[in-house]
């Protein structure tokens, strides 16, 4: 097996899922977002694990991601979070994917394509309760729901929204999220008052799951929490990271005082030392920003931390092993993982979120699933 690989601990994924289900209660549905190749963890494998654990549906960003699940043998409901192109709809309808819609034109296009296919299509109405991205205004929800059910082949399967700052504990942000919850609740109620079944009402992302129980509605869509990173620091329940990124030391070379390492000569040895070469770089997802001077990351070898030195290359990087190394060639290297440096630690160093780090692990990095 190649040196660089991502170990995915499915038992830890199930542990996070069990914690979510315990807090959410037994009667709420759970949608597991597996967009972005399941945040870098492998969409088909994570989907199978989630469904075996009893989740109700899956969520992806694009129709092509939904088709990838179908090609992988996934038969469960799959919700498409973003707006697809009209030419993608026939295949989406053929494969029983569930679309989000939020304006009259998109509803009419979906209705026409479903009629052409002579097949019922379930859609969910997206409500913009305050994120300012996609979705209809709450006051337009009932009229658009009526437009959906007026279509011969469309079925209103649900109504959803998304939060802007549900992970924040700032007073203004807590109040804003409560207002989003109120607006969405009013939109759902307006559909009911119009005599239309809104289907599954869903709003809670990971941040709302942790600290806004009033956002639970009928179904929870939690992504980052299930992959091990709660967006609310110190929030309960806690989550356990499920990915460990490993590689190996493939060579060790002497470096004299005053010699430079890697592109740009940004790091120069201040003493005679030894440099370990590890076969992982930004082409694998080890972001180059970690090596912008001063270098911001250290890897774990044999339980001890060693700093990356010089610029991270596309396929390789270098670590300073010191003048009298105990590290040997072929020793295992942990870039991040449970119980070590986490993806969240890396994200904090470059001002981003943990799941941008995991989602950025390239598909050329082998995924190894551990139960």
**Which tokens hold the place of 103?**
């304006």
pLDDT for 221: 98
pLDDT for 260: 97
For residue 39, pLDDT beyond 80: yes
Q: Across residues 170-197, what is the average pLDDT?
A: 98
For residue 8, pLDDT beyond 90: yes
Please write the tens of the pLDDT for every residue from 290-321. Answer: 987 677 899 999 999 999 999 999 999 999 99
Please write the tens of the pLDDT for every residue from 70-105. Answer: 999 999 999 999 999 999 999 999 999 999 999 999
Q: Which of 9, 12, 35, 39 is catalytic?
A: 35
Give 290-296 contacts, CB < 8 A, sequence gap 24+. Answer: 290/346, 290/349, 290/350, 291/262, 291/266, 291/317, 293/266, 293/267, 295/267, 296/349, 296/350
- How many residues belong to the chain? 371
pLDDT for 338: 87
For residue 286, pLDDT beyond 90: yes
pLDDT for 232: 86
Say if CB 315 and CB 286 are below 8 A apart: no
The pTM of this model reads: 0.94
Q: Measured in whole angstroms, how far is the alpha carbon of residue 111 from the centre of its chain?
A: 30
Say if CB 187 and CB 127 are below 8 A apart: yes
Bridge partners of 101, per DSSP, are 125
pLDDT for 236: 86
Q: What is the CATH number of domain 10-221?
A: 3.20.20.10
For residue 252, pLDDT beyond 90: yes
pLDDT for 14: 98
Say if CB 226 and CB 239 are below 8 A apart: yes
Say if CB 205 and CB 166 are below 8 A apart: yes
Q: Across residues 162-189, what is the average pLDDT?
A: 97
Domain ranges of the chain: 10-221, 243-370
How far apart are the C-alpha atoms of 218 and 353, rounded to whole Å?
Answer: 28
pLDDT for 295: 75
For residue 181, pLDDT beyond 80: yes
pLDDT for 340: 77
Q: Measured in whole angstroms, how far is the alpha carbon of residue 59 from the centre of its chain?
A: 10
For residue 231, pLDDT beyond 90: no
pLDDT for 102: 97
pLDDT for 59: 98
Question: Cα-flanking dihedrals φ and ψ of residue 5, to 5°?
Answer: -155, 155
Q: Which of 116, 119, 263, 363 is catalytic?
A: 263
User: Do β-strands 121-126 and 98-101 pair in parallel, antiparallel, or remain unpaired?
Assistant: parallel
Does residue 369 carry a catalytic annotation? no
CATH: 2.60.40.650, 3.70.10.10, 3.40.50.2300, 2.40.37.10. Which one for 243-370?
2.40.37.10
pLDDT for 20: 97
Sign of the Cα pseudo-torsion (212, 213, 219, 222, in order) = positive
Please identify which residue in the block is written with the tokens 């607006």. 183
Mean pLDDT of the chain: 96
**Which tokens hold the place of 143?**
């009229």
pLDDT band at 57 (very low <50, low <70, confident <90, very high): very high
Question: Cα-flanking dihedrals φ and ψ of residue 233, to 5°?
Answer: -65, 125
Say if CB 72 and CB 42 are below 8 A apart: no
For residue 212, pLDDT beyond 90: yes
How far apart are the C-alpha atoms of 314 and 201, rounded to whole Å?
Answer: 44
Does residue 306 carry a catalytic annotation? no
pLDDT for 287: 94
């Amino acid at each position: 097996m190649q040196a660089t690989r991502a170990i995915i601990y499915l038992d830890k994924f199930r542990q996070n899922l069990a914690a979510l289900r315990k807090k959410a209660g037994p009667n709420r549905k759970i949608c597991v977002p597996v967009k972005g190749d399941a945040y870098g963890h492998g969409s088909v494998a994570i989907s199978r694990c989630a469904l075996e654990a009893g989740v109700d549906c899956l969520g992806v960003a694009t129709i092509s991601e939904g088709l990838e699940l179908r090609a992988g043998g996934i038969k469960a409901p799959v919700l498409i979070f973003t707006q697809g192109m009209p030419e993608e709809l026939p295949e989406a309808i053929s494969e029983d994917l569930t679309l989000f819609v939020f304006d009259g034109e998109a509803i009419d296009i979906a209705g026409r394509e479903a009629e052409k296919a002579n097949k019922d299509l379930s859609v969910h109405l997206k409500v913009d309760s305050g994120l300012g991205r996609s979705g209809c205004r709450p006051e337009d929800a009932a009229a658009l729901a009526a437009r959906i059910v007026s279509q011969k082949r469309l079925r209103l399967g649900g109504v959803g929204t998304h939060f802007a700052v549900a992970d924040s504990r700032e007073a203004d942000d807590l109040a804003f999220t409560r207002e989003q919850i109120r607006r969405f609740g009013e939109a759902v109620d307006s559909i009911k008052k119009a005599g239309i079944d809104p289907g599954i009402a869903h709003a809670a992302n990971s941040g709302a799951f942790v600290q806004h129980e009033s956002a639970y509605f009928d179904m929870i869509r939690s992504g980052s929490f299930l992959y091990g990173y709660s967006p609310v620091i110190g929030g309960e329940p806690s989550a356990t990271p499920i990915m460990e990124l490993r590689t190996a030391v493939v060579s060790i070379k002497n470096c004299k005082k005053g010699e430079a390492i890697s592109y740009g000569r940004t790091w120069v040895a201040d003493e005679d030392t030894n440099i370990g070469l590890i076969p992982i770089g930004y082409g694998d997802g080890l972001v180059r920003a970690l090596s912008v001077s001063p270098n911001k990351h250290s890897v774990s070898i044999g339980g001890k931390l060693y700093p990356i030195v010089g610029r991270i290359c596309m396929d390789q990087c270098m670590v300073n092993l010191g003048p009298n190394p105990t590290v040997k060639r072929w020793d295992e290297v942990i870039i991040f993982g449970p119980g070590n440096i986490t993806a969240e630690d890396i994200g904090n160093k470059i001002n981003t979120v943990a799941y941008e780090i995991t989602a950025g692990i390239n598909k050329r990095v082998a995924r190894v699933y551990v139960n």
